[in-house]
Structure 1
Amino acid sequence: MTMGRVAAIGERSRVGGLALAGVQVLVADGPEVVRRAWRDLPEGIDLVILTPAAAEALRSGLAAPPGRRPLTAVMPP
């Protein structure tokens, strides 16, 4: 069984520690940076963990990047 790749998008203080678990951390401290990180997700990402602020920044456009449909999870506040 092959495990999928996981990424996290959000503020450094909330996502930084996930790198220790092998998560690809995409630090994004503002709405525009969050949207860019989402749009430019690397190939092969199957799960994206979002901070609440990142989820809010993507609220209106949380559609998957073209050609991909990663599962998303939002961290609790």
Structure 2
Amino acid sequence: MSSVAVIGARTAVQGYGLVGALVRVAEDPEAVRRAWATLPADVGVVVLTAAAKAALRGQTGADDGRLIAVMT
């Protein structure tokens, strides 16, 4: 069974932990890249803030097998 992770600024992601998501607070682009690189293998869905998605531009793709959703 895969899990859900959420990456982004604390104010945008902290509540997702209440529903069981793996929350990775990342306030700057380098922290976002570190959070992405250290996601457990069982994470199948990743929710990103718009800033987190911008920080990962070119680093995410279909070959990683994860579904990515971006907050608007």
Cα separation, 1, equivalents of 2:58 and 2:67? 17
What TM-score, normalized by structure 2, do the two folds share?
Answer: 0.90
Q: CA RMSD in A?
A: 1.6
Shift of 1:61: 1.6
- Name stretches of at least 5 consecutive residues in structure 1 with no aligned partner: none
Q: Using the aligned pairs only, state the percent identity.
A: 47
Shift of 1:44: 0.3
What TM-score, normalized by structure 1, do the two folds share?
Answer: 0.85
Alignment pair present for 1:54 and 2:57: no
Partner of 1:71 in structure 2?
A: 67
Per mean C-alpha deviation after superposition, the further-off stretch among 9-18 and 54-63 is 54-63
Shift of 1:75: 0.4
